[in-house]
Amino acid sequence: MILQFDEKVTKSLRAWFKRNGFTCGCSFANKPFIPSFCYDGETHRVEIPKTYNTEAIEENFINYLKEKGLSVEANWLAMTILHEVGHSETVRLFTKKEHETNARRKMILGFQMTDNNIDEINRLYWDLPIESMANKWAISYANTFPEKVKRLEKVLYNHCKVTED
């Protein structure tokens, strides 16, 4: 499945962040070599791609989060955004060296990923300490505020076009 986000999504996400007490911003990703969602610690923004190929991540990510304690119904896309917000909320818990180590490990995992091992590599990625902390934060937030997560889902899907690959 391919998601294409319109120009209103970043504005709507910034408004949702502000309404819910988050200080991070949101913008379209300006790194074409990273066609994914990410948190930029230098700009303190959640970055989203204009186009995203889900590559069967939806079910795997939610199943992983359920194994780690997600107890409410939540959409993978909303949980992906909450994961990135989780980075902004937990960034200070790690040293610069830990962030550098995490970045190197993510890069290595990216080079190792193939069509045959995507599930395994994703799990290794999600288990990295900084990624794991962002997931724990997202799970806690979703379990505590399921109605806010549902509103986040509406914000996201109001501003995207979904097509099959």
Least confident of 34-38, 54-58, 103-107: 54-58
Range of the domain at 10: 2-163
More confident call, 107 vs 36: 107
Distance CA 66, CA 154 (A): 21
- 159 contacts 8 by C-beta, under 8 angstroms: yes
Calpha distance 105→92 (Å, rounded): 19
Comparing 38-47, 88-97, 141-150, the range with the smallest average pLDDT is 38-47
Among 61-65, 103-107, 114-118, the range scoring the smallest mean pLDDT is: 114-118
CB 43 within 8 A of CB 23: no
**DSSP secondary-structure letter at 159?**
T
Question: What global pTM score does this model have?
Answer: 0.92
> Structural domain tally of the chain?
1
Give the pLDDT of residue 114. 85
State the DSSP H helix or E strand holding residue 10, giving kind and residue range, or none if neither: helix 8-19
